[in-house]
Amino acid sequence: MKTAILLAFLSGLVILAGGALGGQQGLVLAFVFALVMNVGSYWFSDKIVLKMYRATEAGPDHPLTRITRRLATKAGLPMPKVYVIPDMSPNAFATGRDPNHAAVAATEGIMRLLSESELEGVIAHELAHVKHRDTLISTIAATLAATIMMLAQMARFAAFFGGSRSDDRQGGNPLAALAMILLAPIAAMLIQAAISRNREFGADRGGATMVGSPMGLATALRKIDSAVHQVPMDANPATAHMFIIQPFFGGVSKLFSTHPPTEERVKALMEIRPGM
């Protein structure tokens, strides 16, 4: 429900931006361009991201493969491909356009850091993302946010070259347009980050349910959070939302963070423990 409300706000922001800028044609053009860009990213995300992090496919007898196979069977999911990332920073992510084309990847660092029960909690979290189709949800959010940012860019470009002459004819409001140029991209980023944080809570709960206990995941989150601060990952910011914990840290406001604070996630996991 929270995700649906946030997506509705994001969609409304697109409409408001188009109305304020007074150009339906620009709105449609920006939306189509953003849609093509993000659908392409959604369709090929697994190949792009896995290649970006030099991931290699794990063999059938690899511990990561055995854990993933056991959990996927338990959750009624198709067996995803399993990859190992040659990086000592502990982290993991899931990718792929749907459960039938999913992949789970984990770093060498996370396998050295965690016990088997903790690693099981992490893989269950990633399989919950697959089950909830969070890749699709994040793509929709990214498409809408990118449309807003493109509209703001087009408005800035038009204002610089005097392209707002037609605003009066089309009913656009110059003050509203200026507000959209300045505020809409920030609002879009805030909503997109909030959607990402909300999906993390959902995947935590789904992973704990899949395993039957929140303890392994809760302990794993604390360990990963501590280790990532010591050994941050050289990750592309565009992929930060995919990882189980944000792979790098530095002056990012909580509002713009793609992940909730680890202690909040652990607290939420502990609250579901009595029900299990």
Of 229, 221, 231, nearest in space to 250 by CA:
229
Amino acid identity for residue 236 in this structure? N
Other CB atoms within 10 A of residue 95 CB: 26
The residue with greater pLDDT, 203 or 47, is: 203
List active site positions: 126
DSSP 58: P
Q: Average per-residue pLDDT in the chain?
A: 84
Q: What is the mean pLDDT of residues 229-236?
A: 90
CA distances from 260 to 139, 246, 266 (A): 19, 9, 10
**Which phi and psi (to 5°) does residue 85 adopt?**
-100, 125
The residue with greater pLDDT, 145 or 200, is: 200
Report how far residue 169's alpha carbon sits from residue 53's, in angstroms, rounded to the nearest whole number.
50
Given this model, what pLDDT does residue 21 score?
Answer: 62
Given this model, what pLDDT does residue 173 score?
Answer: 59
Q: What is the mean pLDDT of residues 178-198?
A: 82
DSSP 2: H
Report how far residue 75's alpha carbon sits from residue 199's, in angstroms, rounded to the nearest whole number.
18
The residue with greater pLDDT, 204 or 257, is: 204
